[in-house]
C-alpha cells in the first residue's frame, strides 16, 4: 500500500502520510492540513470518520464483531478473569501477577473510605433525583475532599490516585441507591472481594446478614467486564477531552458520567427496559413497535438496537444474552419481558429495515434484564454501566496524559451572518 494520501485543492496537490495501526487500520495523518493548505479544515459531524488519537488499550472491529482489551479477547476475559484483573489490565497494560492483584485489591480497600461530609451532599439531593445526576455530582465532589492534583509523570502518584477512585466509586454507587431506598449508608465488608463487596454495600439491610450468591457475583463480574472499555465512545472521548485541559481525573470522570447518562449511550439500558415494559403494558404487540421504529415520522427508536461501530453483531450482546438466560434459569425467574425481548430480537433480525441498516441488538439490550433479576432498580442501570466503565475511563485518561496529547479543540465551518453594523437598541 502507498505510504501517503494525496489531496488536490484548486489544482494544488498535498501529500499526507498514512498511519497503519497494529491491526492494519489505516488513517490519513492530517496534522499539517491547515498549515500546508492555508487554513482548509475537515468536517465530520459525530466524528464518524475521525480518529481522535492513537491508543493501545482497546481494539474493536465492528465489521467482524471483535472486541479485545490490550490484545485479550472479550470472550476469554468474560469467561476466565474477574473484574479487578481486567481493571488492572486496562489501566496498567498487563494482566497482574497474583502478588500485584492482591496488592491492588488491598490498596483499593485502603483508599475506599470517603469523607463523611459527602453524606451531607447526598442528603441535600431530593429522593427523586436521577442516580446518574447524583453520581456525577458526587464524583466531582470527591475533588474537594481529595484536593491534591495528580502528577501524571509519577508512577506512585498515579497508582494511588487510581486506587482512590477505584475504592471510593463503588461506595458512591451503593450510597446513591441506598439513599433512594432510605437505607443507612454503609461500607460493606472490606474482607470481601471487590464485586462481592459491591453487592454487600448495595443490598445489605441493617437488620439481617446479606447472603452472597455465587450466581449474582458471577453475573455482575461478567457485566462489569463487558462494559469496562469500548475505545473512543461518547463518554470516553468526553473524559479524554476534559482531561486534555489538564483537568483532574475525578472531575474528568464526572463529565464522562454525564455523557454516559444519555439514552443514545449508556442510558439505553434504562430506556430498553422501559420500552419492553411499555410494550408489555400495551398488550405485547411487538409488530406495532417494530412499525413505529421504522416510521421516519415517528421519533420512536428500538432501544438497544444499532451501534455506531458494530455493523455485524455486538460481541458483548452475544455473551450477555447467554448470561441472561443462565442467570434467570439459576434464579428461577420467569420474566415476560425477556420473552418480549426475544420476540423483538428475532423479528428485527429478519426484518429488511434492520437488516439493510445492519442494526443488531447491542450490549444494552439484555443487560437490563439481568440487572432487574438481581433486584437493581431500573434507574440504577446506567449507574451500573458507569461502575463497569470506570477502569476504561481511567486507562484512557492516563494514556492521554502520558502521551502528552494537546488540548482537545476541534475547528468548525462558520455558517452564520457576515460582519454587520451594530444597531442601537431603539433602532432594532
| All cell numbers assigned to 307 | 451501534
Q: Which residue minimizes CB distance to ligand CMC?
A: 306
* Contact flag: residue 390 with ligand CMC (CB under 6 A): no
* Contact flag: residue 388 with ligand CMC (CB under 6 A): no
Pairing of strands 58-61, 72-73: unpaired
Q: Which of 221, 265, 307, 314 is catalytic?
A: 307
Out of 81, 363, 395, 400, the only residue in the binding site for ligand CMC (CB under 6 A) is 363
Out of 65, 306, 391, 392, the only residue in the binding site for ligand CMC (CB under 6 A) is 306
Tell me the three state secondary structure of residue 301: coil
| Separation CA 228–CA 419 (nearest Å) | 48
Any bridge partners for residue 19, and if so which? Answer: 27
99 is a catalytic site residue? no
CA 226 to chain centre: 10
**In which order are the strands placed within the sheet that holds 4-9?**
4-9, 12-20, 26-28
- Please, which residue, 204 or 382, has the CB nearer to ligand CMC? 382
* Contact flag: residue 303 with ligand CMC (CB under 6 A): yes
* Contact flag: residue 264 with ligand CMC (CB under 6 A): yes
* Contact flag: residue 307 with ligand CMC (CB under 6 A): yes
| Separation CA 370–CA 387 (nearest Å) | 15
* Contact flag: residue 348 with ligand CMC (CB under 6 A): no
Any bridge partners for residue 266, and if so which? Answer: none
* Contact flag: residue 230 with ligand CMC (CB under 6 A): yes
* Contact flag: residue 311 with ligand CMC (CB under 6 A): no
* Contact flag: residue 383 with ligand CMC (CB under 6 A): no
- Please, which residue, 180 or 321, has the CB nearer to ligand CMC? 321
* Contact flag: residue 55 with ligand CMC (CB under 6 A): no
Interface segment toward ligand CMC; rule CB under 6 A; list 121-129, 138-146, 261-269, 410-418: 261-269
111 is a catalytic site residue? no
* Contact flag: residue 266 with ligand CMC (CB under 6 A): yes
Task: Return the H-helix or E-strand segment holding 72.
Answer: strand 72-73
Q: Which of 290, 305, 295 is nearest to 357 (CA)?
A: 305
* Contact flag: residue 280 with ligand CMC (CB under 6 A): no
| Separation CA 236–CA 256 (nearest Å) | 6
* Contacts of residue 314, Cβ cutoff 8 Å, sequence gap at least 6: 65, 307, 360, 361, 362, 363
- Note whether 220 and 198 are within 8 A (CB): yes
* Contact flag: residue 293 with ligand CMC (CB under 6 A): yes
* In the complex, minimum distance from the CB of residue 85 to ligand CMC, in angstroms, rounded to a whole number: 22
- Please, which residue, 103 or 358, has the CB nearer to ligand CMC? 358
Residues 22-51 that bind ligand CMC (CB under 6 A): 46
Out of 268, 369, 384, 394, the only residue in the binding site for ligand CMC (CB under 6 A) is 268
| Separation CA 305–CA 208 (nearest Å) | 41
Out of 14, 103, 292, 301, the only residue in the binding site for ligand CMC (CB under 6 A) is 301
* In the complex, minimum distance from the CB of residue 308 to ligand CMC, in angstroms, rounded to a whole number: 4
* Contact flag: residue 359 with ligand CMC (CB under 6 A): yes
- Please, which residue, 250 or 385, has the CB nearer to ligand CMC? 385
Rg (the chain; Cα; Å) = 23
Q: Which of 364, 348, 359, 344 is nearest to 285 (CA)?
A: 344
| Separation CA 118–CA 113 (nearest Å) | 11
* In the complex, minimum distance from the CB of residue 206 to ligand CMC, in angstroms, rounded to a whole number: 36
| All cell numbers assigned to 284 | 405485547
* Contact flag: residue 265 with ligand CMC (CB under 6 A): yes
Please count the residues of this chain forming the interface with ligand CMC, following the rule CB under 6 A: 21
Task: Quote the crossing angle between the two packed helices 194-203 and 155-181, to the nearest 10°.
Answer: 30
- Please, which residue, 90 or 158, has the CB nearer to ligand CMC? 90
Tell me the three state secondary structure of residue 17: strand
| Separation CA 75–CA 84 (nearest Å) | 16
Catalytic residues: 307, 364
The contact set with ligand CMC (CB under 6 A) reads: 46, 230, 233, 264-266, 268, 293, 301-308, 357, 359, 362-364
Amino acid at each position: 500500500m502507498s505510504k501517503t494520501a494525496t489531496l488536490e485543492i484548486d489544482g494544488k496537490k498535498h501529500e499526507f502520510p498514512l498511519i497503519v495501526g497494529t491491526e492494519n487500520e489505516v488513517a490519513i495523518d492530517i496534522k499539517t492540513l491547515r498549515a500546508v493548505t492555508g487554513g482548509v479544515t475537515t468536517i465530520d459531524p459525530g466524528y464518524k470518520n475521525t480518529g481522535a488519537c492513537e491508543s493501545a488499550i482497546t481494539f474493536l472491529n465492528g465489521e467482524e464483531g471483535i472486541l479485545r482489551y490490550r490484545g485479550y479477547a472479550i470472550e476469554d476475559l468474560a469467561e476466565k478473569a474477574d473484574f479487578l484483573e481486567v481493571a488492572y489490565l486496562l489501566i496498567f497494560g498487563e494482566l497482574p501477577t497474583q502478588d500485584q492483584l492482591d496488592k491492588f485489591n488491598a490498596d483499593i480497600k485502603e483508599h475506599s473510605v470517603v469523607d463523611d461530609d459527602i453524606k451531607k451532599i447526598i442528603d441535600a439531593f431530593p429522593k427523586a433525583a436521577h442516580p446518574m445526576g447524583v453520581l456525577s455530582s458526587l464524583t466531582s465532589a470527591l475533588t474537594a475532599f481529595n484536593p491534591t492534583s495528580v502528577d501524571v509523570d509519577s508512577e506512585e502518584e498515579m497508582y494511588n490516585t487510581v486506587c482512590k477512585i477505584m475504592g471510593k466509586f463503588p461506595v458512591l454507587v451503593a450510597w446513591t441507591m441506598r439513599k433512594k431506598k432510605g437505607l443507612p449508608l454503609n461500607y460493606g465488608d472490606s474482607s470481601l472481594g471487590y464485586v462481592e463487596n459491591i453487592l454487600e454495600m448495595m443490598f445489605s439491610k441493617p437488620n439481617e446478614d446479606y447472603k452472597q450468591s455465587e450466581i449474582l457475583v458471577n453475573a455482575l463480574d461478567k457485566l462489569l467486564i463487558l462494559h469496562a472499555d469500548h475505545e473512543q465512545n461518547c463518554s470516553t472521548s468526553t473524559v479524554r477531552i476534559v482531561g486534555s485541559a489538564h483537568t483532574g481525573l475525578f472531575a474528568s470522570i464526572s463529565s464522562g458520567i454525564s455523557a454516559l447518562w444519555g439514552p443514545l449511550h449508556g442510558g439505553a439500558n434504562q430506556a430498553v427496559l422501559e420500552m419492553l415494559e411499555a410494550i408489555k403494558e400495551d398488550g405485547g404487540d411487538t409488530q406495532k413497535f417494530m412499525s413505529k421504529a421504522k416510521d421516519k415520522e415517528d421519533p420512536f427508536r428500538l432501544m438497544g438496537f444499532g451501534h455506531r461501530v458494530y455493523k455485524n453483531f455486538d460481541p458483548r450482546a452475544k455473551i450477555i444474552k447467554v448470561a441472561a438466560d443462565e442467570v434467570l434459569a439459576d434464579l428461577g425467574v420467569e420474566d415476560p419481558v425477556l420473552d418480549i425481548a426475544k420476540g423483538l430480537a428475532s423479528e428485527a433480525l429478519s426484518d429488511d429495515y434492520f437488516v439493510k441498516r445492519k442494526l443488531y441488538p447491542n450490549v444494552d439490550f439484555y443487560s437490563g434484564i439481568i440487572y432487574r433479576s438481581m433486584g437493581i432498580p431500573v434507574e440504577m442501570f446506567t449507574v451500573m454501566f458507569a461502575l463497569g466503565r470506570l477502569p476504561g475511563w481511567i486507562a484512557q485518561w492516563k494514556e492521554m496524559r502520558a502521551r502528552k496529547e494537546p488540548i482537545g479543540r476541534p475547528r468548525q465551518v462558520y455558517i452564520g451572518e457576515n460582519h454587520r453594523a451594530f444597531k442601537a437598541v431603539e433602532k432594532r
